[in-house]
A and B are shown apart, each in its own frame.
Chain A
Amino acid sequence: DIQMTQSPSSLSASVGDRVTITCRASQSISTYLNWYQQKPGRAPQLLIYAASTLQSGVPSKFSGSGSGTDFTLTIGSLQPEDFATYYCHQSYTPPHTFGQGTRLEI
């Protein structure tokens, strides 16, 4: 299985800050890397697919980059609704695997 390692596991930030979350795959996954936001009691929501493509309807303050094994999710100008848990996910090969999550806290 491809292991996905996110860092940090938790992150404290303030409204207006810009933050970056990283995700590393245990082997190359090209750009088959996706990012999700999950709020308590809700299903995850796709933010970025194919490493850097913004999902329809997602604000442009979310951006993704990377290829191979190293990827980043950047969130610009944090707003209260952005405080949530973020997951990376590889869709390069089954079994699909997720990072352990990054909890973004105020």
Chain B
Amino acid sequence: QVQLQESGPGLVKPSQALSLTCTVSGGSLSSGSYYWNWIRQPAGKGLEWIGRVYMSGSTKYNPSLKSRVTISIDTSKNQFSLQLRSVTAADTAVYYCARNSYLGLVVSGGFDSWGQGTLVTVSS
């Protein structure tokens, strides 16, 4: 059974970069059957998709964040990472990594495995 685990600083200063890593166990990022995603949720609010990466390194980002986001993958370590630059208080949220099925270049499946989430607070 695949497991995902987020790691990274819980506190980031405004204007700096937020960096998180998702370590995957029980499955391989090289399988080609899945996209690997980042999703966030501010306290008491809904879910926002940040972006995804495929085993090839191909990425798709939410246009609302695209100018500040980079998602990368390291199949040798079975990890993928999120970098969000120039953060503000509005970026304070629980950040989740999640997997969904690769069904094609555009369409995909539901998010069937999630990390437990990590709270990132942006504050000086």
Contact = CB atoms under 8 A, between A and B. Distances in A.
Given A43-B96, A94-B52, A100-B46, A55 B112 contact: yes
B60 A89 contact: no
Interface in A1-28: 1
Interface string B94-117: 001010100000111111101111
A92 B110 contact: no
A91 interface: yes
A89 B46 contact: no
Task: Assign chain B's interface to a size class.
Answer: 20 to 34
Contacts of A55: 110, 112
A3 B110 CA distance: 17
Contact of A97 (B49, B98, B117): B49
Contacts of A34: 109-111
Contacts of B96: 43-44
A93 B47 CA distance: 16
Given A36-B111, A43-B96, A43-B115, A94 B47 contact: no
5 contacts: A32-B108, A87-B47, A91-B107, A95-B49, A98-B46
Interface of B: 37, 46-49, 52, 60-64, 96, 98, 100, 106-112, 114-117
Interface of A: 1, 32, 34, 36, 42-46, 48-50, 55, 87, 89, 91-101
